[in-house]
Structure 1
């Protein structure tokens, strides 16, 4: 029995030894694989450095030539300047704004029609020729999108609410769904942006329907305020009458069971409509709030497009490093030289292989 237990123990030790050996071999293979990758990368880098070092004068010539040409081209080229204006649209005018922006961009970037651009913006042709592009995008962040999504889902039924996702919502909305937008202008003149103030906004909102809608809205606000003023005057007059009655009644000799009862007209239950000056004061406060709201609405909707932040007097450099030829040309010429040597080497290799095959 003890012999069987000893043989079983030895068998288990052999099995464990083989298991650990397999695990060790697995880790060794993994290590060798990772090491081979780094060795391959090192070999490629080494071969590249050897290649460049052996032809260093050619690569140095390519880089120097690229730098010289790049500095010359950058010196002769015009710098790019940009500035932004932030707007808020009223009366669903976003469609009109975007269409006008596309037209202005077409004139400046593609057609290069300085005459028409100058006419649209009411600026000299020489200034219009310096404008190189017009860009627009919604001025909104992810928090606002999420809030819009939550409000949208509240209007859906339970089934649609479960199926409709945030990604589906964001992909379905368009630029016209927002009221705030950022407009960017590109120019070769740093100081042209101050000249665009006022004229530019007028150019992107030129629409008879929107102008008429704005005028009608302002007239309605004016009529509402006049109505509130008239109502406030009536309440003030009523207050004066009521206070005068109270004053006269207070001077009379008090009679048991009598009092000052001043009732509103057209009332069946007059005991329930005894005038209380606190109610009149509350009505005046409500009217004051309504008037302040109207005055605020007039300021917001007095224009088709409100300028939240206007153009600065001077623009800022918007050039990227890829726009600088002194950086791009050396890289391009170095790459062309490298590809050229690779092609030469490939040609020599194929020629040698061809000779071996013919031999």
Structure 2
């Protein structure tokens, strides 16, 4: 019976050998697969280089034609004027503002000049001349980092560790930033100021924002009234302390004991006077801050800067979110189209090789 015991060990050794062999083959096939991918990519790159080399003259001609076309269109087409304003939001008007600009933008796309004329309060010809609206936040990378740091300070430590900078930026809406820039493009340059003013009026006439403004101003003015009353009482009490110090100094005698008692009383009154003086300064500083806040709240949204009320000529084209001149734009477009056509013809010839096999 003992002679039969080694047999299971031999079976286990055979199974382990086969297992290692299978693992080795799997790794070998995997690396061979990766190598074949890189090899095919390299071959495709080489083929593309020779393809471009073969048709370089055609692509160059297409680029030159694009440059010439861009020059001709710049000279012959109507000029496009562009103007913009920078706004400061004193209330959470961002979402409403973006929806409003999006609505105007859709009206322009639909060529609904009648509705655009009514909502903007401009003449028909001026409404027809508007080509586009745009809005974007004005915020630097440093300001984004500052907002991120301030946001983390409002969170619990454990939660803050789970929020990285990219996640924060992903969840922050463009309209939430305080400063926004509105852009208008038009064929005429005389209606920019009117349109900008109407956009602001439409936001400020919103019933919700007006009601919030009234509540905020009422609350702030009540705070000013309360602080002003406190300052009057503080000034009265300060005058009392000052008179007490003077009276104490006048009534003291030449006796050392009485001089000491008067000095102690004077020090006590001086200490209270100093504390009262500090409190008075704090109240006055708070009053200044509240008055500044009242000045901000008096405008729901306000213009911080306005550039080119009459507009400037804008000949820039946009391709893949990159702005460029007309010559470069049409050169890239025509070269790309030529390349796509040549590549399509080459692909069709490749497929014709298998026509007889179908």
Question: When the two structures are superposed, what TM-score results if normalisation uses the length of structure 1?
Answer: 0.66
**1:43-192 → structure 2 map (5 Å cutoff):** 47-48=54-55, 74=74, 77-107=77-107, 109-157=108-156, 160-192=159-191
1:199 aligns with 2:198: yes
User: In the alignment, is the contact (CA less than 8 A) between 2:81 and 2:187 conserved in 1?
Assistant: yes
Distance 1:292 1:117, change over 3 A: same
User: In the alignment, is the contact (CA less than 8 A) between 1:197 and 1:310 conserved in 2?
Assistant: no
User: In the alignment, is the contact (CA less than 8 A) between 1:261 and 1:274 conserved in 2?
Assistant: no
After TM superposition, give the deviation of residue 339 of structure 1 in Å: 5.0
Residue number in structure 2 paired with 1:292: 288
**Could you list the per-position Cα deviations for residues 284-330 of structure 1 after superposition, in whole angstroms to 9, with x for gaps in the alignment?**
21111011101211122221113222243232233225784897399
1:235 aligns with 2:234: yes
Q: Return the alpha-carbon distance in structure 2 between the equivalents of residues 152 and 253 of structure 1.
A: 60
Q: Return the alpha-carbon distance in structure 2 between the equivalents of residues 133 and 319 of structure 1.
A: 14
**Could you list the per-position Cα deviations for residues 262-292 of structure 1 after superposition, in whole angstroms to 9, with x for gaps in the alignment?**
9xxxxxxxx9888732222212211110111
281-290 or 132-141: bigger deviation: 132-141
Residue number in structure 2 paired with 1:6: none
User: In the alignment, is the contact (CA less than 8 A) between 2:241 and 2:269 conserved in 1?
Assistant: no
Q: Return the alpha-carbon distance in structure 2 between the equivalents of residues 87 and 168 of structure 1.
A: 27
User: In the alignment, is the contact (CA less than 8 A) between 1:69 and 1:326 conserved in 2?
Assistant: no
Distance 1:48 1:148, change over 3 A: same
Q: Return the alpha-carbon distance in structure 2 between the equivalents of residues 318 and 187 of structure 1.
A: 10
Residue number in structure 2 paired with 1:302: 298
After TM superposition, give the deviation of residue 228 of structure 1 in Å: 1.5
After TM superposition, give the deviation of residue 214 of structure 1 in Å: 0.8
Gaps of 5+ in 2: 1-42, 319-324
3-state SS of the aligned residue for 2:310?
Answer: coil
Distance 1:277 1:337, change over 3 A: closer
User: In the alignment, is the contact (CA less than 8 A) between 1:81 and 1:189 conserved in 2?
Assistant: yes
Gaps of 5+ in 1: 1-35, 263-270
Q: Return the alpha-carbon distance in structure 2 between the equivalents of residues 147 and 333 of structure 1.
A: 44
Residue number in structure 2 paired with 1:318: 314
Distance 1:205 1:278, change over 3 A: same
Residue number in structure 2 paired with 1:276: 272
After TM superposition, give the deviation of residue 206 of structure 1 in Å: 3.0
After TM superposition, give the deviation of residue 338 of structure 1 in Å: 10
Q: Return the alpha-carbon distance in structure 2 between the equivalents of residues 173 and 185 of structure 1.
A: 25
After TM superposition, give the deviation of residue 121 of structure 1 in Å: 2.7
**Structure whose alpha-carbon radius of gyration is higher:** 1
- Which of 320, 327, 330 aligns to 1:328? It is 330
CA RMSD of aligned residues (A): 4.5
3-state SS of the aligned residue for 2:315?
Answer: coil
- Aligned residues between the structures: 304
**1:16-35 → structure 2 map (5 Å cutoff):** none
